[in-house]
Amino acid sequence: MELRIRLSTPPDAPTLARIARAARASWGYPAEWLDLWSPKLTLTPEYFDRHLVFLATVDGETAGCCALEDHSTHWMLEQVWIAPEAQRAGVGKALVRHALRRAADSRPGIVRVHADPNATDFFLGLGAELIGAVAAPMPGAPDRRLPVLEFEVAPR
């Protein structure tokens, strides 16, 4: 398996949106929720201009992505999506570690993530600390919350 990570560009957006939807669907979410999330799962050209978006390929095929947003006082890890067929193969770990290294190289400090509840253990396993939760209501689940996790990245 040859895993590569590169900066993503706007032409990658449709592929990344398909992967994001498939990744969310693999957790068994209802189609109604997937439809409501669709705008947030589709990256705009402006998003690529403002943030670092990393794309992973496995043997030349797009397998996942993640984004690093600079919020000046901290970083946010966003859009962490792995194609279902590439899950549990190390792609997500490689992408997140890559983004954390980029944050550490650019401005060490805090990297936060508002995780899908299904991904909490993944981020904890990479060394994140659970620091709270934010409201994320959905139809039929008004009390739904997203865990907030934090990594502290030091200069290398």
Which domains, from first to last, does the chain contain?
Answer: 3-153 (3.40.630.30)
Is the pLDDT at 146 greater than 80? The verdict is yes
Residues 6+ apart with CB under 8 A from 32: 139
Q: What is the pLDDT of residue 31?
A: 93
Residues 6+ apart with CB under 8 A from 42: 13, 17, 20
Query: What does the alpha-carbon distance between residue 14 and residue 43 come to, in Å, rounded to a whole number?
Result: 8
Q: With contact defined as beta carbons under 8 Å apart, do 82 and 22 qualify?
A: no
Is the pLDDT at 130 greater than 80? The verdict is yes
Q: What is the pLDDT of residue 1?
A: 83
- Residue range 130-138: mean pLDDT, rounded: 97
Q: What is the pLDDT of residue 156?
A: 73
pTM: 0.94
Query: What does the alpha-carbon distance between residue 106 and residue 89 come to, in Å, rounded to a whole number?
Result: 28
Is the pLDDT at 155 greater than 90? The verdict is no
Is the pLDDT at 145 greater than 80? The verdict is yes
Query: What does the alpha-carbon distance between residue 146 and residue 25 come to, in Å, rounded to a whole number?
Result: 17
Query: What does the alpha-carbon distance between residue 52 and residue 82 come to, in Å, rounded to a whole number?
Result: 17
How is residue 101 written in tokens? 């290294």
